[in-house]
Amino acid sequence: MRVDGDLDKLPPGSQAEAEFKLAFAHDIARATGVHLDRVQIEELRAGSVVVDFAILPSLDDTGPTVGSALTTLNEHFNRLSSPLYDGKITSRIIREDGDRLEYSFREAASNIRAVIVQNRIIRNRVHELK
């Protein structure tokens, strides 16, 4: 997911990076209804700030399933008046026409299915035939 910001202001291991990650995870947890410990930040990359993160399954079968959380996240991403856009960090999501959330599945280190969520820009291109 891409948010407005400067990655250079979030050096690896810094207090600023830790606070950003915690606030982002809190925003996602609040918007999807999952417990905060189920939101795992995988990577911060340049491009404003691109946040790759995982929504982990519940270890005790409480709270929304991963699929339900992703459905909610996708609905919120596509509706600017949603709680997702009220978060401390997620209020700065950069969204352009044609953007969508992409999900990729992987095995977590603990053999729990986890979901990596990335916001990749998908641009519709108009090709004119001559």
Examine residue 129 and state whether it is found in any structural domain, yes or no.
no
Write out the H or E segment, with its range, that includes residue 29. helix 15-32
Examine residue 127 and state whether it is found in any structural domain, yes or no.
no
Instruction: Show the domain range for 111.
Output: 2-120
Examine residue 9 and state whether it is found in any structural domain, yes or no.
yes
pLDDT tens for the chain, 130 residues long, are: 889 999 999 999 999 999 999 999 999 999 999 999 999 999 999 989 999 998 888 888 788 988 889 889 989 998 889 999 999 999 999 887 667 776 665 544 443 334 444 443 333 333 333 3
Examine residue 11 and state whether it is found in any structural domain, yes or no.
yes
Domains identified in the chain, total number: 1
Examine residue 54 and state whether it is found in any structural domain, yes or no.
yes
Cα–Cα distances (Å) from 98 to 2, 77, 95, 103, in that order, read 14, 12, 8, 16
